[in-house]
Structure formats: C-alpha cells, structure tokens
Structure 1
Amino acid sequence: MAFQCQRDCYMKEFVTSVVSCCPAELKQEVNGKKETIKGFHIKLQDTILFPEGGGQPDDHGFLGDVPVLRVTRQGPDALHFVASPLEVGQEVQVKVDWERRFDHMQQHSGNNHHRDRKKRHRTQCLDTRPHPGTLPLELGRQRSTIELDTPCVKPGQLQELEECVNEKIRAHIPVMVQLLSIDDPAVEKVQIFRGLPEDHAGPIRIIDIEGIDANMCCGTHVSNLGHLQVIKLLGTEKGKKNKTNLIFLAGKRVLKYAEKSYNTERSLVSLLKTGPDEHVEAVDKLQKSVKLLQKVRTVSMSITKRCSCSSCRKEGDNEFMNIIANEINTEETLVFLTVGEEKGPGLFLLAGPSELVTEMGPQVLELLQGKGAGKNGRFQGKANSLARRGEVEALLKQRCNQRSSQEE
C-alpha cells in the first residue's frame, strides 16, 4: 500500500487508529555511546510519518502527545517506535515534524531534479557520452551526497549543471505522483535505478518531474520545483572504484550554509585582523610561524649554558628572532641571530648581558654594514650584507672568552 504521507506529502496532521502495540527495543547513539531504549512498536491504520527507505531518513513526530522516535517499514506496514504504549483501537492524531520533513522533501526532489529522462546521468546535460545513471543517495544532517557512475566531474561541468538546475527551479515545473499497478505497461517506460524490495506490496509509486525525470521512488517530494528554492553544488569527492560522490544542498540548507559561512567569516576577520579575501594568506602565514616556533623550541632546548651561540636562517623576521632569544637565557648567554641569504642583505639580532650588547652592538653593525639600535640587552637592525657574518661570530667568541678569563 501507499501511506498517506506518500499520497499527500504536505499533510502535517492526520487522524487514524491504532492497529497493534508490541514491546520493542531501539538502539541509538547518544553522546557518542550506543544505548538500547525499551519501548513499543505501534502499527496504525495509515500514517503521515514516512518510514526510512530509498536513501531518505524517517520522519519524527507525535502520536497524540507521545513522541515518535523512529519509523521503520515492515512489509506493507510502518512501525512507529514510542516510549509509552497505546491502546489498540484508539484514535490518535498524528503530527509530523514539518521542518525535518520539508528538508527531506527538498533534498530528495533536489536529487531527482539533477537528472534528465533522456540523459540519465546528472552530468549528461553537460556531456553527451552515455552513462548508466545515478546510484545511491544519502541525505545527511547537513549536506547530501549522491554517487555518480563516473570517475570524475570537471569544475566547469559542475558550474554549468548548477546553473541548469536552478533555471528549472525558476521555471516552477510541477512534480506529480503516480500510483501504478506492477503489471501496468507504463512501468516499463520508467527509469528504475534500484530493484523493488523483496517484501514490497501494493502499487508502484512514480515521481514524475515534467520533462525532466520519471522515476520509481518511495520518498516524499515537493509538488513543484519552485519549492526547492535553490540548489548549491558544493563539489565532489572521490567515491568507490571509478565513481564520484557529488555533494549538494537544496532549499533551506543553502540559507543555513550561507549564514554559517558568514558567521565563520566574521569570526575569522576578528581573529586574523584581515579582510575575508586575505584569510587564506593569513592562515598560511600562521601555519608557517607555528612550524618555525616548533623548530625554535628544538634549537633552544639543545642550547646549554655557554658564552655565546649563533644561528642563521634564510626565512624569518624580527619577531621570529626575538622569539628565539626569549627561549634562551640571554642573561648568561650572548646570542647572535641573522635572517637572510648568506652573502646578501638581511636582519640581525644581538642579545645577551646588557654591558656586552652595548659594547659589541656598534662593532657588529659596522661589520654588517647595517643600521640599527639597541637597549635592555637587545641590539638589532638591518644588514646590507651578511658576507662578514663569520667575522662577527669570531669577534663575539673572542670577547666572550676574554670576559670568562676576567671572571676567573
């Protein structure tokens, strides 16, 4: 049989009677842990709550005031799992969680809308090569995916397809539901991507999007493509062997995605202190800084108490050199750091005991042909040439040795 939810997908409330009530268990995941809930399976005379199937999740809702936690199909019947029992024969008002239902309708119809009855594959409106068709659909909580029977889809094809399907939405093309007997000749003309379930009973349900797709389907759908609002193709992922997963959003999910993206963008503007167009560059710079800091810690941990130490790197800036100096006990160690090419221009930092830095800073500046200044045990600046860096190291070691001899 076809359930009332399949005959009229827009019905939100429905009065029916209880046919049976049997003890049952429901296994579900709560906060990452699997739990088993004891309850009851309720069979109704008919229902507007869709049981899970065809790649579409089940509906949630109420039987009277009792929440329905799960709906599954058993042959011609729908089993409604509830925590409290209901009396057989009593009338109940069934209410559907409409926000969840309409979201599923948009995503499911959005999937069918990508196809063309004369060109069965989604990308067929972009490519004349024959393809065997679309494969399984998955309606996730935040995004939906469908498996394409092709190894890849080019970015240009996705853009053209997105424009094509949204044009159909703006055309307000009707979506019709047909119930045909299994021996009806019209069934042979319909695209059937999956076989019928072994326990199927009753008529064959056909979803016909005028001029686009006529397909056997048990799920709930919109009555007009205009109700999809908009479709956004997010991209593709590698699927199973020689297949591609197409990721898409339809209807209200597109609006939620835009709102979430905008809020994320605003947060990044606040954190990175840059405009949206510069976020990628700013994050890339941060990642490089983190890698340099990790190397800094490695270098600083390997430095024991000594009179002087020296380090030269091609990449970095003044902040980087100061971070290194901060990791070292410069009250006892004279540190000389440079950033730049071996014989080209660059930056330098001399850090250590204040009296040594004050004394040696001007001499370092002269050897490097640079400009700079210092205070509080730091002397830094720009070097026109790092070619005499070795002479600076030798001079600093010599002065440190003299200082050590004086202290002894």
Structure 2
Amino acid sequence: MVFQCQRDSWARQFTTQVVSCCPAELQTEVSGKKATLQGFHVILEDTILFPEGGGQPDDRGFISDIPVLRVTRQGPDALHFVQKPLEPGSEVQLTVDWDRRFDHMQHETQLFIPGQHLITAIADQMFGFKTTSWELGRQRSTIELDTPTMTAEQVVALEQSVNKKIQERIPVVVTEFSAGDPEAETVRSRGLPDDHTGPIRTINIEGIDANMCCGTHVSNLSDLQVIKLLGTEKGKKNKTNLIFLAGNRVLKTLERCHGTEKALTSLLKCGAEEHVEAVKRLQNSMKLLHKNNLSLLRDLAVMTAQSFKSNQPFPPHRKDGDSEFMNIIANEIGTEETLMFLSTGDEKAAGLFLLAGPSAMVETMGPRVAELLEGKGAGKRDRYQGKATRMSKRAEVQALLREFTSHQSTEE
C-alpha cells in the first residue's frame, strides 16, 4: 500500500478513520534505560505518519491529541503505537512532527541504499565509488563507500558538484507502477520486501538517477538548501565512511559552532583565529604544572615518611595525593617490619588507600580494611591497595590496625 505520506510528503495534517485498535507493547528507552511500554497498535484507513522502512526512521506526531510513539509497517498496514485506546470507526485528525519529517526528507532525498540518490549518484559518476550502506544519525549522517580511501580534493569536488545540482533546482519526481509493469524492471532496486503489496514507487532525480524507494522526499533539490561534507573516516573491510550534513542540520551545526566559538573567545581572551594556538599554550602550561606538581608530591612524600619515622603512628591523609605518592612513602619507610596505612582523596567520601607492611599482615588485614572503607582492592606481597567509598571511616581502620599490631606484639 502507498500511504498518504508517500503521495504527499508535504502534508502536515490529515483526517482519516480508525480501522482497528489492539493491545501492544513497545520496547524503547526511557532516560537512557531500556523499558517496555504498554499501549495499543492502531491501524488507520490511511496515514501521513511514515512507518519505518528503507533506511528512513519513522515519523512522530499525534492522532487527535494522543502522541504517536512509534510507526512500523506490517504488510500493507502502518501500525501506530499509542498509549490510549481509540474506537474503531471513529474519525481522527493526524498531525505530523514537521521538524523531524523535514529533516528526514532532506537527508533521505540524497541517498538510498544502494546509493543512487544525489550524493551517492554523483560520487558514483565522478569517481566510481559505490555506496554499500548508509546511516541517518541524530546529528550527522554517514555514507559507506566501497573504496579504501577518498582524498580531501575528491571530497571538495564532490561537495561542489552536489551543491551545484541543488542550485540548479532539479525536480524530484515520484512515480508509481503497478506490480509486474515492465518499466519498473528498468529502475534500480535492492528488491521489494517479501510482504510488499500494491503499487511500486520510484523516485527520479531528473537527469541524475532513478530508484525504488518507499521514503518521504522533497519535490525539488533546492529544498535541500545546502549539503556539507564533513570529511571521511576509515570504514569496515577496506571501505570509507563519508560524513555529511544537509539542510537545517547545516544551520543548526553552524549555530552550535558559533556559540562554542563565542564561549571560547570569552574564556581565552582572543579572537577565533587564535583559539588553536591559545589552547596549545594552555596545554603546554598544564604539562609543566603537572610535572612540577609531581616533583613537589615526591618531595612531600619523602618528608611525610621521615615524619612518620620520628613520631607519627600513621602518615596523615592527603586530599591531593595519588597511588604513586603513597607508594613513595611506603618505599621510604620500608615494609619489612612496619605495618602502615595511607590514604588520599576526599576525606569523607571516595579516595584511594594503601596498606603496606609484612606480607602476612597485609594479606590478613588488606581485605578487612577494604571492607571497612566500603571499597575494593587487591594485594601483592607487601602491598594491598584499592579504592574506597567511605574514607570517613579512616579512624576506625587505624583503630583496627592498632589493635591488630598490639595483639601481634603480645603473641611474640
């Protein structure tokens, strides 16, 4: 069946009738977590909400005031998933989410597996690069080209050629053929789905390419506004991924980039043309500061170890230390006879700990220290170290270790 959304991709509202409404479930994500929604599959006499297919995502919209959360195709029917039941035979008003639809129309017109619409057709004509797959992403889209490499010069030439076709306002014509029509056999296609019924639909970009396609399309290449090729990435199995934006996505990306540029200008106190050099200077400064900080921490670790040898039962907790800092202290003090507990990080929450000393003592007390600090660790010979989530229990650990060492001394 050819739906109203395919006959008229520009229709934003449409009146139709409910054919059936059956209980259904929808597997989806809510706040980044998988969820199962309970609802209904509604079949309508016709629809302007495109069901997912041919590489194009489905539409969103409303049936009267009820949100449509998913549209899929089952044989000749489009299944609209909603969470409120609708009465069969009742008249309803459909409304499409136009921003989402027009974004899909702009991108879908450019290519269709196996790659015969605008970008892929021109890439094939200019360089002989065949398209093996494509993906319409949320922010950018990707064409997989059957070539191991694509030069920067080829990308520039392809972008110029594609945008020239847009400027020429070339029409995009939809034609329907009846099943078995010999003329349909001359149009390139991956083949029809096994459950296809009704007319065969083709999309023709005049003078460029024709292909079978079920998706929604613009009526003229000028509706695409502009195409920006962002470059290439290495693909799978000796292929190349071509990254691109089209139409409103170019404008939105430009707006986002301009906002980032303004923020960087304010933070870096220089013009946009100096941003890269300014960031490089900051990176070099950070590397130098990090190097100096490590040197100071090593010196501090040695001093802390010396203080421990003279009069401190436990080295003091340091918020700004790390594993290397604690191990330097343990090395300076020596672990042959002394059992020591060191810690760094947040004084009340998460941090790192190290238990060092005679191997037998460390093996016995390491897991108990980790458990008391509500953390995890691992030991090897005279060291047991790990991460803790309750560093506020350091005093309890110290008390436990004092009791243990005192008991060991008594036994000896």
- With structure 1 as the length reference, what TM-score do the two structures score? 0.70
Paired with 1:197 and 1:113, the residues of 2 have a C-alpha distance of: 14
Distance 1:152 1:210, change over 3 A: same
Q: Return the alpha-carbon distance in structure 2 between the equivalents of residues 106 and 117 of structure 1.
A: 12
Larger Rg: 1
Match of 1:51 in 2: 51
Instruction: Indicate whether 1:75 and 2:45 are aligned.
Output: no
State how 1:208-287 maps to structure 2 within 5 Å.
208-287=204-283
Q: Does 1:182 align with 2:193?
A: no
Q: Give the drift of 1:196.
A: 2.0
Q: Secondary structure at the match of 1:111?
A: coil
Instruction: Determine whether 1:38 maps to 2:57.
Output: no
Aligned pairs (5 A) from 1:97-246: 97-111=97-111, 122-127=122-127, 130-131=128-129, 133-192=130-189, 194-246=190-242
Question: CA RMSD, aligned part only?
Answer: 2.2
Deviation at 1:93, TM superposition (A): 0.9
Describe the shift of the 1:299–1:118 C-alpha distance in structure 2 as closer, same or farther (beyond 3 A).
Answer: closer
Q: 1:167 to 1:115 in 2, by over 3 A?
A: farther
Distance 1:100 1:196 in 2: 26
The 1:89/1:273 distance shift into structure 2, 3 A limit, reads: same
Partner amino acid for 2:200? I
Runs of 4+ in 1 over 3 A off after TM superposition: 112-122
Partner of 2:23: 23
CA contact (8 A) 2:109 2:117 kept: no
1:119 and 1:48 map into 2 onto residues whose CA distance is: 27
Matched residues, percent identical?
62
State the TM-score, normalizing by the size of structure 2. Answer: 0.70
Deviations 1:345-378 (A, max 9, x none): xxxxxxxxxxxxxxxxxxxxxxxxxxxxxxxxxx
Of 175-184 and 259-268, deviating more is: 175-184
Whole-Å separation in 2 of the counterparts to 1:40 and 1:171: 46
Q: What stretches of structure 1 of length at least 5 have no aligned partner?
A: 307-408
SS at match of 1:302: helix
Pairwise CA distance, 1:44: 0.6
Q: Is the 8 A contact 1:115 1:212 kept in 2?
A: no
The answer for the alignment partner of 1:60 in structure 2 is: 60
Alignment of 1:223-372 (within 5 A): 223-304=219-300
Partners of 1:119 and 1:170 lie apart in 2 by 14
Q: Is the 8 A contact 2:131 2:143 kept in 1?
A: yes
In structure 1, distance between residues paired with 2:46 and 2:205: 26
Change (3 A) 1:219 1:196: same
- How far the C-alpha of 1:206 sits from its partner, in A, is 0.3
Task: State the alpha-carbon separation in 1 of the partners of residues 225 and 119 from structure 2.
Answer: 24
The AA in structure 2 aligned to 1:223 is: S
Q: Which residue of 1 aligns with 2:341?
A: none
